[in-house]
Each structure stands twice: as C-alpha cells, then as structure tokens.
C-alpha cells in the first residue's frame, strides 16, 4: 500500500470518528478529530497535487477555526 493510501484511510477513519463524536455531543473532542482529519486530507491533496482537495480542506479548517474562536 502506498503512503498516500495509508494517510487517506487514516484521515477517513479519523473524520468518521469526528462525526460519531459530534453525534454523541462530545465537544471539543469532535473538533479535534475533525482538525486532524482535515490536516491529513490536506496532506493527501498535496501528495496528489490536487488543488480542489486542498482548497476544500482549507475552507473546512477556516470554518472550524472561526466557529471555535466565536465560542471561546
């Protein structure tokens, strides 16, 4: 298995954990999981040289950051 495939699957599992934690209302652990997943998916975008994946995950990161700063 290629490194990018490993990163991709780890990121996917972490994102799914984030969704589960959100459903169980485990805050802020859900945000932490999403942040790790977002960063890993951004890394996948870099590895693939796929700007669309990078842009969508920069947007997701900024959304979480703004939301987090708004409640702190």
Distances (CA, A) of 10 to 33, 43, 68, 70: 11, 12, 24, 29
Number of C-beta neighbours around residue 69 at 10 A:
8
Q: Considering the chain, what is the average pLDDT of its residues?
A: 95
Mean pLDDT of the region 33-50: 98
Residue 68: its pLDDT value, please? Answer: 83
Q: What is the pLDDT of residues 7-38, one digit of tens each?
A: 999 999 999 999 999 999 998 899 999 999 99
* pTM of this structure: 0.90
Residue 17: its pLDDT value, please? Answer: 98
């Amino acid at each position: 298995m290629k490194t990018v495939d490993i990163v991709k699957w780890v990121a996917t599992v972490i994102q799914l954990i984030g969704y589960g934690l959100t459903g169980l209302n485990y805050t802020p652990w859900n945000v932490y999981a999403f942040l790790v997943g977002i960063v890993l998916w951004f890394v996948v975008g870099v590895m693939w040289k796929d700007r669309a994946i990078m842009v969508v995950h920069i947007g997701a990161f900024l959304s979480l950051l703004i939301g987090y700063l708004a409640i702190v």
